Structure 1
Amino acid sequence: MIYAVGIGPGNRETMTYEAMSAFEESDVIVGYKTYIDLVKDLIKDKEVVSNGMKQEVDRVKKAIEISKTGKTVSVISSGDAGVYGMAGLILELSEDEEVRVISGVTASTAAAAVLGAPLMHDFCHISLSDLLTSLDLIYKRVALASEGDFVICIYNPRSKGRPDYLKDAFKIMKIHKSGSTPVGIVKNACRENQEVHICTIDTIDYETVDMLSIVIVGNSSTYIKNNKIITKRGYETKY
């Protein structure tokens, strides 16, 4: 058995009972070292297999190899295993192994809860990492999502190697979105050292954003009230 486990932000409060049960049932925990460290109090004396970034394929192959010996393996992802996580790769590479995907709280919903209610209408996820997707295609998706008036949740928004991708994406958004559109930035959502910044497309400070941040850009109905971001669902409301 292989569990593809989404651990959410990484603390017990935001982890599902199903995820914790998977840990209890597993003989071996496999994952990126940073994520292993987030759940080390739950792993206890179990066997751990960890490696670094950009070694996802090797990690999954090792998990499958271990599962063939009869052991139960949990392969962990931060957030939801099926949202930019390991679930797809496990299903692609597995043969006759039983695979069960355990969902978790993904970064966009964790950040949205901190910001208020920015995801009350149609929204999409776009990653600005061009390691596996061409930059032209990423910017095309940004343009079309903006034209469609989607709330946009931006994953992997800015790194030392990609310092200007977010700024360029915002230039594209401004073709279709007002400069006064609310923007929420949450760093380390639901973790220690959480940081929250609420601004607009025109006033964003790109230096506050890094790879530990999620950026949520509103749609034409999104507004700020009492320092919370709200996207209207369309209900008739009377004040």
Structure 2
Amino acid sequence: ADLVIGYGLYLDLVADLTRHAEKRTYPLGKERQRCADAIAEAASGRDVALVCSGDPGIYAMATLVMELLERSNDEAAARIEVSVLPGVSALQVAAARAGAPLGHDFAAISLSDLLTPMAVIEARLEAAAAGDFALALYNPVSRRRRTALATARRILLAHRSPETPVVIARNLGRNGETVDVTTLGQLEVDRVDMLSIVLVGAQGTRSFRRVSGGSWTYTPRGYDVS
């Protein structure tokens, strides 16, 4: 690519790979402008890389690019070649660090009400809890939003034990990475920030001590291991 577009932090993470390209950064909250700029520049003939965190199709920019392309009346934009390159999502990294907490059926739910009403989020939490899915909770808190995780905890506790294992993973793949295992009953909002992802086990999820310290967490598939 001769032009790389993205949130400044994400571009910093791939600086070694993009040193010969023009960089164009956008702040949080300017996602639409970011994607529209990438489409416009690609339509003009440039080779553009739109950089996201994790996987571009999971709570990232691929869906917005698709929506803008579908709605566009620009013939040049309709002709651009788009490649969505898969990445490793935070839920995969967090699960791998902790063991295999998402080893059986699971659901991913974002707790951000910026684009989705809280009533819809709560309904999805209720459905996932009733279905006994392990959960990956994205965007659990932000500077202005501190109650959604507590709401999720309350809903989940109505369906599963307070001893249910919970993984709190922060700064995955970056300096200061931490992965802690606690329980649903002991989950505290103040231990979580906007750089965290929270994995909540299903009814069958288990934890056991690892030799190197800390705990392994996994959700059995149902194999006969007797």
> Normalization by structure 1: what TM-score?
0.87
- Separation in 2, partners of 1:228, 1:190: 19
Q: 1:30 matched to which residue of 2? A: 5
| CA RMSD between the two structures | 0.9
Three-state SS of the structure 2 residue aligned to 1:100 is coil
Are 1:205 and 2:202 matched, yes or no?
Answer: no
SS at match of 2:145: coil
User: Which residue of the partner structure matches residue 237 of structure 1?
Assistant: 225
Q: For this pair of structures, how many residues does the alignment match? A: 213
95-104 or 141-150, which deviates more: 95-104
* Equivalent pair of 1:182/1:199 in contact (CA under 8 Å): yes
Instruction: Give 1:69 shift.
Output: 2.1
Match of 1:93 in 2: 68
Unaligned runs of 5+ in 1: 1-25
Match of residue 120 from structure 2 = 137
Letter of the structure 2 residue corresponding to residue 47 of structure 1:
E
**Aligned residue for 1:220?**
203
Maintained 8 Å contact 1:33/1:52:
yes
Q: Determine helix, strand or coil for the equivalent of 2:194.
A: coil
Contact 2:2/2:20 (8 A) holds in 1: no
> What's 1:182 paired with?
165
Give, in whole Å, the separation in 2 of the partners of 1:57 and 1:210: 25
1:49 aligned to 2:24?
yes
Q: Is the contact between residue 91 and residue 99 of structure 1 (CA under 8 Å) also seen in structure 2?
A: no
The one-letter code of the counterpart of 1:232 is P
Distance 2:222 2:80 in 1: 45
Matches within 5 A, 1:114-153: 114-153=97-136
Post-superposition Cα deviations, 1:101-155, rounded to whole Å, max 9, x if no partner, equal 0010001001001111101100010000000000000011011100000000000
Secondary structure of the structure 1 residue equivalent to 2:168:
strand
Task: Say if 1:147 and 1:176, in contact at 8 Å, map to a contact too.
Answer: yes
SS of residue in 2 equivalent to 1:99: coil
1:68 aligned onto 2:43 = yes
Structure possessing the higher relative contact order (Cα contacts under 8 Å, 6 or more residues apart): 1
Runs of 4+ with deviation above 6 angstroms: none
- Which residue of structure 2 lines up, in the alignment, with residue 14 of structure 1? none
1:182–1:201 CA contact under 8 A, matched in 2: yes
- Cα distance in 1, alignment partners of residues 53 and 179 from structure 2: 20
Partner of 2:73: none
Cα distance, 1:77 vs structure 2: 0.7
How far did residue 97 of structure 1 move? 1.5
Percent identity of paired positions between Structure 1 and Structure 2: 41
Runs of 5+ consecutive residues of structure 2 not aligned to the other structure:
70-77, 210-214
Match of 1:165 among 139, 148, 163: 148
Contact 1:120 1:233 (C-alpha < 8 Å) held by counterparts: yes
Determine helix, strand or coil for the equivalent of 1:136: helix
Matched position secondary structure for 1:30:
strand
* Conserved 8 A contact 1:114-1:189: no
Q: Which segment is superposed worse, 88-97 or 43-52?
A: 88-97
